[in-house]
Amino acid sequence: MSQLFDLSGQVALLTGASKGMGLSMATALAEHGSKVVVSSRKLDQCEEAAEAINSSCGEQRAIAIACNIGYKDQLQALVDETHARLGPIDTLVANAGVNPFYGSMSDIPDEAFDKIMGSNVRSNHWLCQMVGPDMIAKGCGSIMITSSTGAFAGSETLGTYNISKLADIALVRNLALEWGPRGVRVNAICPGLIRTEFARALWDNEEAVQRVNEATPLRRLGEADDFKGVAVFLASNASAYMTGQAITICGGTNMYR
């Protein structure tokens, strides 16, 4: 049997993992043998998600640790508790993100701008620096940062969010350059429009769904489970020669990027 996608013995830490894409990715990693840390702001939601994963896997593969990514001390506590309970980290999926403002950049309050850039970019930088030493010590490891196809274009309503996601791709490229010689791979995952609670405002009416379907070669919105395969691929030896890339999962809407 091929071991190409076998994650047995690995430890994966995922933020924004109690629902949606993050939960699907955590579930897939656990199903392929990894122990996973399910993290988000609310502990009860993390615990519920971890229980669902353990139930589907038939054994204790997932643990729950609450963390607000906007606070450096909470991120450090997340990494420290992961070390204490599971050991060194092999895979990091920095999936958590925020978008507290919808509208023109001319109208965005400073607090909203700072929150978007802090949570979507700086927190990923912090977390990578906290987890990176584990991977460098082993000479291998995989980091995934969730960006967005929004990174590839401007927007009249999501401008600052899109800027933060383009910055995430730049962060990925720089870390891939710095840590590649040490065996650590770093890639960005760029979702298109996915039917998750986070993106509900963009798809929650029939007209919007029809418009998106008509503009998407695969003629449907993305679903959270569409990210299971890419997570396993990037965490496993199947992607051993891939780093510094921005991988679009978008049904074909950004095939020319």
The mean pLDDT value for 174-180 works out to 98
Query: Up-side HSE of residue 68: CA atoms within 13 Å toward CB?
Result: 5
Reading across the β-sheet that carries 141-146, which strands appear in turn? 62-66, 35-40, 11-15, 91-94, 141-146, 184-191, 246-249
Identify residue 151 by its one-letter amino acid code.
Answer: A
| Coil, strand or helix at 41 | coil
Euclidean distance between the first and final Cα of the chain, in Å? Answer: 36
CA distance 243 to 232: 15
User: 45 with 68: CB under 8 angstroms?
Assistant: no
CA distance 215 to 4: 35
Tell me what pLDDT residue 78 has: 98
CA distance 20 to 17: 7
| Pairwise pLDDT comparison (41 vs 211), residue with the higher score | 41
Single out the catalytic residue among 71, 161, 241, 256: 161
CATH class of 11-194+224-249: alpha beta
Chain centroid, CA 203 distance in Å = 21
The mean pLDDT value for 18-22 works out to 95
Work out whether the CA dihedral 61, 62, 63, 65 comes out positive or negative.
positive
Local confidence band at 237 (pLDDT 50, 70, 90 cut-offs): very high
161 catalytic residue (yes or no): yes
Tell me what pLDDT residue 210 has: 79
The mean pLDDT value for 168-188 works out to 98
Q: Which of 177, 178, 179, 147 is nearest to 163 (CA)?
A: 147
Whether residue 170 has pLDDT greater than 60: yes
Question: What does pTM read for this prediction?
Answer: 0.94
Write the pLDDT tens digit of every residue in 59-81: 999 999 999 999 999 999 999 99
Whether residue 196 has pLDDT greater than 70: no
Work out whether the CA dihedral 177, 178, 184, 187 comes out positive or negative.
negative
